[in-house]
Chains A and B, each alone.
Chain A
Amino acid sequence: MSTTRRSPLLSVWLLLGYTFLYAPIVILIVFSFNESKLVTVWAGFSTKWYGELLQDRQMLMAAWLSLRLALMSATAAAALGVLAGLVMARFGRFRGHNLFAAMITAPLVMPEVITGLSMLLLFVSMEKVIGWPAGRGMLTLWIAHVTFCAAFVAVVITSRLREMDESIEEAAMDLGAPPFKVFTAITLPIIMPAVAAGWLLAFTLSLDDLVISSFVAGPGATTLPMKVFSSVRLGVSPKINALATIVVLFVSMCAAGAGILMFRAEKRRKMEIQAAMRDTS
């Protein structure tokens, strides 16, 4: 592909595109160190907004709740998503196959207000009829987050399974390994990087969700985005900039960590393949 002539205009456009994507984030970070309360006029370097953020108990509690929720949701969504991906990629056609495929793609595009409202009405109706879940809070948040995150994980896993070489699984099966053994010994280790990527995606989606959470969270549970939204509505504050900086730092560290892990796994796999080739030749 690199052999064709590439217009310099394209490179300029790419550069503009990345500027458009990153400039707002850079600006957020820069103004989190601003002395003045005005987030648009530079008045000198200061870290006082971080101090104020750390003293905001409500904000910290919301952050702690969101973090726990995201950990629990991502883990369950990864498990459910792997199962769903397996069904999509390996189980062929079965009764309800089309419905199943539609249920996986719908949450990717469904407007969040619709998902949020429908989940809430489900929980309210269930409580009325069977008395469970009693009230709204962490449990209802968790169910809602697992449901929409699982669809995203399923898409990641499905495409990974589709590009994977099935002959290894077939070989194991021919040698008499039962399906469960094939999955744990062959399939899962190979798709592990995709599972990790799916988990991370679910984690960030859960940590980030405002609309669905606002519907299904009861008065007792306030997630970080809900707290941020209510304070942003009151006006712009450098404290939110400080929070954004911490979030960006956290996400970059996670992304870098995941990147290094995947790079190492890839390298090890290549070395193992080379070693195997040497042994057989």
Chain B
Amino acid sequence: MVKSKWKKFLPSGRTTVIGIPFIWLLLFLVFPFAIVFKISFAEMAIARPPFTELFAYAEEKLSVMLNVGNYLFLFKDKLYLSAYLSSLKTAAGATFLALLVGYPIAYGIARAHPGIRNLLLLGIVLPSWTSFLLRIYAWIGILKTNGLLNNLLLKLGLIDTPLHMLHTNFAVYVGIVYAYLPFMVLPLYTNLVKLDESYLEAAADLGAKPWKTFIFVTLPLSKGGIIAGSMLVFIPAVGEFVIPALLGGPDTLMIGKVLWDEFFSNRDWPVASAVAIVMLLLLIIPMMWFHKHQTQEMETI
């Protein structure tokens, strides 16, 4: 009898199944952002942890010290503003390049014989299962001034003097396109493979040229895949750290690297937090856009 009395206080099976992942994600994913937000209003201090407390209670008075200096600093110092802008620019450019490279690949796989489609797709995904870091490292050897690409171009007689490619923005673009290409191809493929062939046939029957069919039928129908793929590349690329750190040069300004240096070199946690909050605000609209399309795509399966 005692057992049944207690039972109504215990959560039901349904609540437990929802509750476990919900609480985990709430505690370790959402709650940390609140803390970042809080610490972005603190001041750097020589202490452990290296920042001041926001709330102080003394003599029956609760005082709250909100330091907006970190944010003012971000807007006063040209470095941060230009880092944000150049990150957005680099990410957008690289996303567009990845789309140009990835769309024909996804289209080609969707058009391939059904028996080999999965194999071709596996071929796209497999490289991303090996270390991201090591694949970026590989490009150092390729792009170096005395590296493989320069040696090849010299041998072919296409250039007379080695090109300076490593530690430039060009190398960063190559790195992002290379590393994120599978994330562009996958959603595009899932979308294109569902494309109803009869639309294309109808367009052809009505006398449309193949390129016209592509622009007015295929492209608009694959809008969902284009958005999902582009956001999967663009959003992480804005905050990318490894690629600018290994392939970028002194004039490469990426906000992910700025945040990293602020945290690890300057040990200024409050400014690093403010950098993160502003980055999050910039990315919140693309993220919501991605989320909307992601849920739509998943519900139409």
Contacts and interface: CB of A to CB of B under 8 A. Distances in A.
B4 interface: no
Contact of A84 (B21, B122, B135, B287): B21
Top 9 nearest A-B pairs (CB, nearest first) are A111-B239, A118-B32, A24-B138, A122-B32, A109-B235, A84-B21, A103-B25, A244-B134, A14-B108
Interface in A78-133: 80, 83-84, 86-87, 91, 94, 96, 99-114, 117-119, 121-122, 124-125, 128
B119 to A, nearest CB: 10
B81 interface: no
Given A113-B260, A211-B242, A4 B200 contact: yes
A150 B30 CA distance: 15
B17 A121 contact: no
A255 interface: yes
Interface in B136-159: 137-142, 144, 146-148, 151
A159 B21 contact: no
Contacts of A155: 298
Given A25-B130, A244-B131, A121 B273 contact: yes
B287 A14 contact: no
A13 B108 contact: yes
A179 B102 CA distance: 43
Given A6-B111, A109-B231, A109-B287, A121 B242 contact: no
A31 interface: yes
A109 B288 CA distance: 11
Contacts of A104: 25
Given A10-B104, A122-B35, A243-B134, A27 B142 contact: yes
A214 to B, nearest CB: 8
Given A18-B123, A106-B29, A109-B232, A11 B108 contact: yes
A91 B22 CA distance: 13
A252 B299 CA distance: 32
A255 B122 CA distance: 10
Contacts, number: 246
B295 A159 contact: no
Interface in A11-45: 11, 13-14, 17-18, 20-22, 24-25, 27-28, 31, 39-40
A208 interface: yes
Interface in B84-142: 101-102, 104-105, 107-114, 120, 122-124, 126-127, 129-135, 137-142
Nearest to A15: B108
Given A1-B114, A159-B298, A110 B236 contact: yes
Interface SS of A by simple majority: helix
Contacts of A244: 130-131, 134, 137-138
Interface stretch (B55-63, B67-75, B219-227, B275-283): B275-283
Contacts of B245: 233
Interface size class of B (residues with CB under 8 A): 35 or more
B6 interface: no
A163 B301 contact: yes
A2 interface: yes
A158 B36 CA distance: 30
B184 to A, nearest CB: 11
Given A25-B127, A31-B141, A91-B17, A121 B291 contact: no
Contact of B127 (A21, A40, A113): A21
A122 B28 contact: yes
B104 A80 contact: no
Nearest to B101: A17
Contacts of A39: 141
A141 interface: no
Interface string B19-49: 0111011101111110110010000000001
B176 interface: no
A64 interface: no
Interface string B229-252: 001100110111110011000000
